[in-house]
Protein backbone atom coordinates (compact mmCIF):
# COMPACT_ATOMS: atom_id res chain seq x y z
CA UNK A 1 0.00 0.00 0.00
CA UNK A 2 2.74 2.47 0.88
CA UNK A 3 6.38 2.87 1.83
CA UNK A 4 5.48 3.49 5.48
CA UNK A 5 7.16 0.85 7.64
CA UNK A 6 4.42 0.87 10.27
CA UNK A 7 1.67 -0.19 7.85
CA UNK A 8 1.06 -3.57 6.30
CA UNK A 9 0.02 -4.05 2.67
CA UNK A 10 -3.62 -3.44 3.63
CA UNK A 11 -2.91 -0.19 5.49
CA UNK A 12 -3.18 -1.65 8.99
CA UNK A 13 -0.86 -0.45 11.74
CA UNK A 14 1.93 -2.85 12.68
CA UNK A 15 5.04 -2.90 14.79
CA UNK A 16 8.07 -3.38 12.54
CA UNK A 17 9.73 -6.81 12.91
CA UNK A 18 13.37 -6.08 13.74
CA UNK A 19 14.24 -9.69 14.51
CA UNK A 20 16.50 -10.17 11.49
CA UNK A 21 18.25 -6.80 11.80
CA UNK A 22 21.90 -6.57 12.83
CA UNK A 23 22.82 -5.13 16.20
CA UNK A 24 24.75 -1.88 15.67
CA UNK A 25 25.73 1.17 17.67
CA UNK A 26 23.00 3.78 17.17
CA UNK A 27 22.58 7.36 18.28
CA UNK A 28 20.18 10.22 17.67
CA UNK A 29 20.20 13.89 18.62
CA UNK A 30 17.14 16.13 18.66
CA UNK A 31 16.72 19.81 19.45
CA UNK A 32 13.91 22.16 20.36
CA UNK A 33 13.28 25.59 21.86
CA UNK A 34 10.95 27.20 24.37
CA UNK A 35 10.42 30.91 23.64
CA UNK A 36 9.22 33.10 26.50
CA UNK A 37 9.09 36.57 27.98
CA UNK A 38 12.44 37.97 29.06
CA UNK A 39 11.17 38.19 32.66
CA UNK A 40 10.38 34.46 32.61
CA UNK A 41 13.84 33.56 31.37
CA UNK A 42 15.44 35.78 34.01
CA UNK A 43 13.40 34.05 36.70
CA UNK A 44 14.51 30.62 35.38
CA UNK A 45 18.17 31.64 35.41
CA UNK A 46 17.83 33.11 38.92
CA UNK A 47 16.08 29.91 40.10
CA UNK A 48 13.16 32.01 41.25
CA UNK A 49 10.29 29.56 40.73
CA UNK A 50 8.56 28.05 43.76
CA UNK A 51 8.34 24.67 41.99
CA UNK A 52 12.14 24.43 41.98
CA UNK A 53 15.09 24.65 39.58
CA UNK A 54 13.31 24.63 36.22
CA UNK A 55 16.31 23.55 34.15
CA UNK A 56 17.30 20.67 36.45
CA UNK A 57 13.75 19.36 36.73
CA UNK A 58 13.24 19.62 32.95
CA UNK A 59 16.53 17.82 32.33
CA UNK A 60 15.44 14.92 34.54
CA UNK A 61 11.98 14.89 32.92
CA UNK A 62 13.58 14.68 29.48
CA UNK A 63 15.67 11.67 30.52
CA UNK A 64 12.60 10.00 31.99
CA UNK A 65 10.64 10.80 28.81
CA UNK A 66 13.23 9.05 26.64
CA UNK A 67 12.95 5.96 28.83
CA UNK A 68 9.13 5.99 28.60
CA UNK A 69 8.92 6.49 24.80
CA UNK A 70 7.44 3.05 24.03
CA UNK A 71 4.72 3.71 26.63
CA UNK A 72 3.79 6.96 24.85
CA UNK A 73 4.25 6.18 21.13
CA UNK A 74 2.17 3.12 20.23
CA UNK A 75 4.46 1.32 17.75
CA UNK A 76 7.87 2.06 19.29
CA UNK A 77 9.97 -0.85 20.49
CA UNK A 78 11.09 -0.97 24.13
CA UNK A 79 14.83 -0.29 24.02
CA UNK A 80 17.80 -0.80 26.30
CA UNK A 81 19.19 2.72 26.17
CA UNK A 82 22.86 2.96 27.12
CA UNK A 83 22.93 6.76 27.38
CA UNK A 84 20.51 9.68 27.49
CA UNK A 85 21.88 13.21 27.73
CA UNK A 86 19.61 16.23 27.92
CA UNK A 87 20.99 19.77 27.95
CA UNK A 88 18.98 22.96 28.51
CA UNK A 89 20.67 26.24 27.64
CA UNK A 90 19.17 29.67 28.36
CA UNK A 91 19.70 32.24 25.58
CA UNK A 92 18.93 35.78 26.75
CA UNK A 93 19.45 37.23 23.26
CA UNK A 94 16.38 35.27 22.04
CA UNK A 95 14.44 34.95 25.33
CA UNK A 96 14.67 31.19 24.87
CA UNK A 97 15.67 27.94 26.45
CA UNK A 98 17.29 25.66 23.89
CA UNK A 99 17.05 21.93 24.50
CA UNK A 100 19.22 19.18 23.04
CA UNK A 101 18.91 15.46 23.73
CA UNK A 102 21.15 12.63 22.57
CA UNK A 103 20.22 8.98 23.02
CA UNK A 104 22.47 5.97 22.38
CA UNK A 105 22.26 2.19 22.37
CA UNK A 106 23.54 -1.02 20.79
CA UNK A 107 20.50 -2.55 19.17
CA UNK A 108 18.39 -3.46 16.17
CA UNK A 109 16.39 -0.25 15.87
CA UNK A 110 17.10 3.46 16.13
CA UNK A 111 16.62 5.95 18.94
CA UNK A 112 15.22 8.92 17.03
CA UNK A 113 11.86 8.78 18.81
CA UNK A 114 13.56 8.64 22.21
CA UNK A 115 15.61 11.76 21.46
CA UNK A 116 12.55 13.62 20.14
CA UNK A 117 10.49 12.54 23.15
CA UNK A 118 13.23 13.68 25.55
CA UNK A 119 13.26 17.16 23.98
CA UNK A 120 9.49 17.40 23.95
CA UNK A 121 9.02 16.27 27.55
CA UNK A 122 11.76 18.64 28.73
CA UNK A 123 10.07 21.52 26.86
CA UNK A 124 6.67 20.64 28.32
CA UNK A 125 8.22 20.58 31.78
CA UNK A 126 9.66 24.08 31.30
CA UNK A 127 6.19 25.20 30.24
CA UNK A 128 4.49 23.50 33.18
CA UNK A 129 6.84 24.94 35.75
CA UNK A 130 6.61 28.49 34.36
CA UNK A 131 3.01 28.73 33.14
CA UNK A 132 1.85 30.56 36.25
CA UNK A 133 3.84 33.61 35.13
CA UNK A 134 3.91 33.16 31.33
CA UNK A 135 1.11 31.31 29.57
CA UNK A 136 2.27 32.68 26.19
CA UNK A 137 5.44 30.56 26.07
CA UNK A 138 5.94 28.87 22.73
CA UNK A 139 7.47 25.43 22.14
CA UNK A 140 9.04 25.40 18.69
CA UNK A 141 11.45 23.77 16.27
CA UNK A 142 11.46 20.27 17.75
CA UNK A 143 13.39 18.25 15.21
CA UNK A 144 15.88 15.45 14.61
CA UNK A 145 19.30 16.95 13.85
CA UNK A 146 21.50 13.85 13.73
CA UNK A 147 21.17 10.09 13.54
CA UNK A 148 23.85 7.45 13.14
CA UNK A 149 23.92 3.68 12.86
CA UNK A 150 21.70 1.08 11.31
CA UNK A 151 21.05 0.22 7.69
CA UNK A 152 20.15 3.76 6.65
CA UNK A 153 23.44 5.14 7.99
CA UNK A 154 23.99 8.72 9.03
CA UNK A 155 21.57 11.65 8.79
CA UNK A 156 22.49 15.27 9.49
CA UNK A 157 19.92 18.04 9.28
CA UNK A 158 20.76 21.07 7.20
Catalytic residues, by residue number, are: 128
* Residues near 71 by beta carbon (within 8 Å), at least 6 away in sequence: none
Contact between residue 139 and residue 127 where contact means Cβ atoms under 8 Å apart: yes
Phi (first) and psi of residue 30, to 5 degrees: -125, 155
* Residues near 91 by beta carbon (within 8 Å), at least 6 away in sequence: 97, 98
Alpha-carbon distances of 143 from 43, 116, 146, rounded to whole Å: 27, 7, 9
Phi (first) and psi of residue 141, to 5 degrees: 55, 35
Closest CA to 95 of 30, 132, 57, 43: 43
Amino acid sequence: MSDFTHMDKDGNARMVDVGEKTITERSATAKGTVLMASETLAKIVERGFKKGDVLSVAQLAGIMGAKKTPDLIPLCHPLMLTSVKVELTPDASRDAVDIQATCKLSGKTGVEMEALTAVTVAALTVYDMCKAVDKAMHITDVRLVHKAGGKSGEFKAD
